[in-house]
Amino acid sequence: MTISAEVPVAAARGGPVAGAGEHGRRNAEEGTSAADLVLPLVAVGGVGVLAGYGYVRRTRRARTRTTPGVVSPQPPVTPLPVLERQAGAALVQADDCLRTSREELAFVEARFGTGAGGGGEGGATVTEPFVRALREAERELSAAFAIRLRYDRGVPEEDAARRHALAGIVGRCAEAGRRLDAEAPAFDQLRALEEELDTSLGIAEARFRELAGRAGRVDAATTTSTVTVTVTVTGYVEQAKDRLVFATTHLNQARQTADLGDTGTAIRHLRSAEGAITQADVFLNDVDRLANSRTAAAALVPAALTGAEAELAKAEMARATPQPPSGRLHTQLTHAHSTLAAVRQELTGDSPYDPLDALRRIVQAMLPLGAGRDGVLGVAAWLVGRSDVGSADGFVATHRGAVGVAARTRLAEAELLLATDPAAADEPASEARETAEQDVRVHGNPYAGAADDRTGGVGGAVLGGILLGEDPDGGPPLSFGGPATRKRRGLPPT
């Protein structure tokens, strides 16, 4: 602020004060009185006081809040726990978007002949942009999970670097979502549900009938089986049937509303049914996969046990010294001996046993001794790791409405290890499954028990992330796309 060098002078009054003497009149005529000199000084002093007061006010405001044009010397800092929750929510949302997008793309591939058992060249061409978008989004999400995994292990250590890591997670997730959002309009154009609804309904209904028959067969097989079903798939057939109840309700409603000309509502019912059909398939696949894995494990246990016993003998010979082995090595050898002896007793006994668990114990007992990654033990490790990773992934997929970031991070780690070090994939996969189950127990389900004709299966649909759970009826069904587009098939506000 610039102040003029010219000091204002008080204006002269219209005349002398009544009753003034001759001396006063003489001073007024000859020059400036003393009062005239004091007034400018008072004015200048007042300007200085006001300027100082304004400066103090502005400084106080700058220190307490941000005002336009004033930079706060101490900007507010978001606490790390808040940033961690934001990054975790971004990971969960991005993972959900990817899972939903894969599921809906499978119905498009079935229509154009590029799904399982298909392979049509023309279909592959029309769906290739969406397959590419999914792969790019998966790379971003995989990188985000890798950052989160290091973060959970304390890397980096400095607060500033940890803030940067969390910002990187959010940025990667945002890019994954943006990539899917960008393809959503073209995806809808390819599906053309508004014009080809009957075709898509026919595909969903055929898939539904196939799964309904399969659920009955799987249920009968598990009921009459002499081998006890393990806890990992207990209740899966019932949950598959629950999803199918939900699917048949919405397929019927889709047909009815389509006949009435309400295409938008019919599409929303179709998307709800497609999501339920996909998850019913996951439940039944998990039961079948476990049965197949246990059959393969039962055939492999004798060879794995023999191979482990040979490796154990070599380990003892290689470390043989005049002195007894160290305390740690002695413990490892003792544990391996007792584990192999217990498995051998189960194998030769009359009681049923879990061959997958037997393989797991063999591999884990031999890993500390440097064995378990090659030969027959390597095959055993891969079989166990694949089974455990598949079990954890299926559980997250069908309960993702309640599963948090910790379980998903461990699952991402297990999936990476399965391709690089199968023997090490078992532990994070098992932890992912256990953490996800705990999330479901803590979360609960406010829609559980809704079983009338209109809302049957809504509880499972919300728990499975088929419906977003924002409304009393379960909320909108989710579709191919990122955070900005995945709810576009939702019901309009009433």
Within-domain flag for 209: no
Phi, psi (deg, nearest 5) at residue 374: -130, 165
Q: Which of 420, 443, 466 is the last residue of a domain?
A: 443
Residues of the chain with pLDDT under 70: 1-74, 114-123, 224-229, 319-326, 445-455, 491-494
Residue 87 lies in a domain: yes
* The predicted structure's pLDDT at residue 319: 67
Last residue of a domain, one of 144, 159, 191: 191
What is the distance of C-alpha 40 from the center of its chain?
Answer: 72
Q: Which of 191, 208, 227 is the last residue of a domain?
A: 191
113 phi/psi in degrees, rounded to 5: 80, 25
Same domain, 160 and 299: no
Tell me: do 184 and 327 sit in the same domain.
Answer: no
Q: Is residue 450 part of a domain?
A: no
Q: 186 and 296: one domain?
A: no
Query: Quick one: pLDDT at residue 364?
Result: 95
Give the residue numbers spanning the domain of 88: 79-191
pLDDT for 223: 75
3-state helix, strand, coil in the chain (%, to 5): 70, 0, 25
Residue 67, CB-side half-sphere exposure with 13 Å CA sphere: 10
Angle between helices 193-224 and 236-259 (to 10 degrees): 150
Whole-angstrom distance between the N-terminal and C-terminal Cα of the chain? 58
Sorted by sequence, the CB contacts under 8 Å of residue 204 that are 6+ apart come out as 107, 247, 251, 270, 273, 274, 277
480 found inside a domain: no
My answer on whether 297 and 424 are in the same domain is: yes
Residues 186 and 314 in one domain: no
Q: Is there a domain that residue 371 lies in?
A: yes
* Number of domains making up the chain: 2
Q: Are residues 184 and 300 in the same domain?
A: no
Confidence (pLDDT) at 8: 40
Does some domain include residue 224? Answer: no
Q: What's the CA dihedral at 65, 67, 69, 70 to 10 degrees?
A: -20
298 and 408: one domain?
A: yes
- Please tell me whether residues 304 and 187 are part of one structural domain: no
Q: What's the pTM?
A: 0.82
**C-alpha–C-alpha distance, residues 382 and 50, integer Å:** 80
Which residues have a Cβ under 8 Å from the Cβ of 237 and sit 6 or more positions away?
215, 218, 219, 222, 283, 284, 287
Query: Are 297 and 187 members of one domain?
Result: no
Residue 330 lies in a domain: yes
